[in-house]
Structure 1
């Protein structure tokens, strides 16, 4: 039986918040004048990890601290997709249409098929358990790239208090067909990640500022032909807050969460615009055709239409 949390119906208005703000003419030209933030759901505990799941035709996101994965339907319904989760955080969809997720509690990467079958994919590196896999993305070749910061080890609201078995916070590439896991980079606290449209660059956020470090940056790693990462450079330092989760559109623009809303940068790091949110947001993703942006923030799932209404 489906656990229905919200019946079908239109989105809710958002308390007064500024409309999208252009800081560059390119953003002004791309953003419809009618674009306004709406609330699709507001009863989560801590929303994260949004991704569009084509096999189910829904927007999926994690209520990390509520220990559920939720699903929003285009008619407005919201239901529980996975209940009593081991603090699932980031999600992606693999080439076979399965939902792949990062589990803070079990410290592993797992997948759920559209019909509900569950399987563990990878749970450690060289005999040691991961810290708390946080975000994951599927590359064009089917490999899963994911980050492994400490957040699930430092907060019982998002995992279990424990020391790190590894002693580092890294980025990994897992080939599910060959079962091969490679450690490809290390950052202070690697968090969100996304590929450039052509796959030549991997963007990874460092959010170590939240645990006493100084990272609040987006790093760009060149991806070599052998799928190794070259030396990174910092694309942007995000203020206020940190660049938690992010996504990249077909133009190569970087849309990142922050303490003020979704900030948008060019691939060169030029600040293009801001989509203010009532509270700091944690992540964002696009719906089909990049016609809608979904934003997770605290209790909320917001949306912003990126295509204007017909004249």
Structure 2
């Protein structure tokens, strides 16, 4: 599938982290330029933030706070609907994070995020690449995985029971059961391919920017490949947006694309 894919904008350095707000506007990052942009429901592009700390992954929580993975700063921040900025988490056991990449806030007020590193630094601040959970009180961060090679994309189900993590370094994607205390259990292979970013629709299908492919691969909830959406560039991440959440927005290197689908994203 490619004919219906529309290029919205180009001439970026490296786009990432699309996230949709309550109105259907899609926010995305240009990492090297340290900027966060908005593609509005009126089909206009607006600059939201400069000096973003090398922002990568974004996600809105149920209160419309925008959570931000600041890769350059090694921290997680958020911006309230009123525009108030705060750093939520910057260290684990006294050391800064490597390079926070993607994030998924849960309904409890906490958030899961991946912490890989792509600068080939042999001396990682955290000694490895892991996934963390910021507790709802934001006063404690726990490490929830320690056996992944290079975790990257992350997304949870609306009921808060299952978390998907794609291991870019091992070319695999896993599902986990989310425990009441925020820990993860029941690690299960979801599909034998890895990727960069992920999204989920109302049917539970997973949209994965599969490693090494100029396409979005769509898997059903059992991990079977359903279909693929071909692109002219290798995509980095995806999210559903628009007023009806039936448009898939795709960040792909120098450009941002969208395609209208029969499926709808979760709210």
**Do the structures match in fold with TM over 0.5?**
yes
- Counterpart of 1:73 (choices 40, 50, 73) is 40
Q: Are 2:58 and 2:66, in contact at CA under 8 Å, matched by a contact in 1?
A: yes
Would the alpha carbon gap of residues 69 and 273 (structure 1) be closer, same or farther in structure 2, given more than 3 Å must change? same
1:25 corresponds to: none
* Aligned position for 1:18: 2
**Highest Rg: 1 or 2?**
1
Matched, 1:246 2:198: yes
Equivalent residues in 2 for 1:1-311 (5 A)? 18-19=2-3, 36-54=4-22, 58-151=25-118, 153-154=119-120, 163-186=123-146, 187-208=148-169, 215-238=170-193, 242-258=194-210, 259-287=213-241, 288-307=243-262
Cα-to-partner distance string for 1:168-188 (whole Å, 9 max, x where unaligned): 211111124252211111211
Aligned-partner Cα distance in 1 for 2:2–2:201: 23
CA distance in 1, matches of 2:141, 2:247: 34
Contact 1:197–1:251 (8 Å) recurs in 2: no
Cα distance per residue 1:68-99 (max 9 Å; x no partner):
11111122211211112211000011232111
Match of 1:3 in 2: none
CA shift for structure 1 position 290: 3.0
SS for the counterpart of 2:32 is: coil
Q: What are structure 2's unaligned runs of at least 5 residues?
A: none
Between structures 1 and 2, the one with greater helix share? 1
Alignment size in residue pairs: 259
In 1, Cα distance between equivalents of 2:224 and 2:156: 18
Match of residue 33 from structure 1:
none
Q: What is the CA RMSD across the aligned residues, in angstroms?
A: 1.8
3-state SS in 2 of match to 1:303: strand
Shift of 1:103: 0.6
Question: How far, CA to CA, are the matches of 2:60 and 2:42 in structure 1?
Answer: 22
Residue 6 of structure 1 corresponds to which residue in structure 2? none
Contact 2:98/2:126, CA 8 A, preserved across alignment = yes
Q: Hey, which bits of structure 1, 4+ residues long, moved more than 3 A?
A: none
**Shift in Å, 1:289:** 4.0
Does the CA contact (< 8 Å) of 1:87 and 1:103 recur in 2?
yes
Cα distance in 1 for residues equivalent to 2:66 and 2:182: 23
CA contact (8 A) 2:135 2:182 kept: no
CA distance in 2, matches of 1:103, 1:282: 16
For 2:158 and 2:214, the matched residues in 1 are separated by: 26
The one-character-per-residue Cα deviations of 1:25-76 (angstroms, maximum 9, x if unpaired) are: xxxxxxxxxxx11111112110100001226x52100101121111111222
- Corresponding residue number in structure 2 for 1:8: none
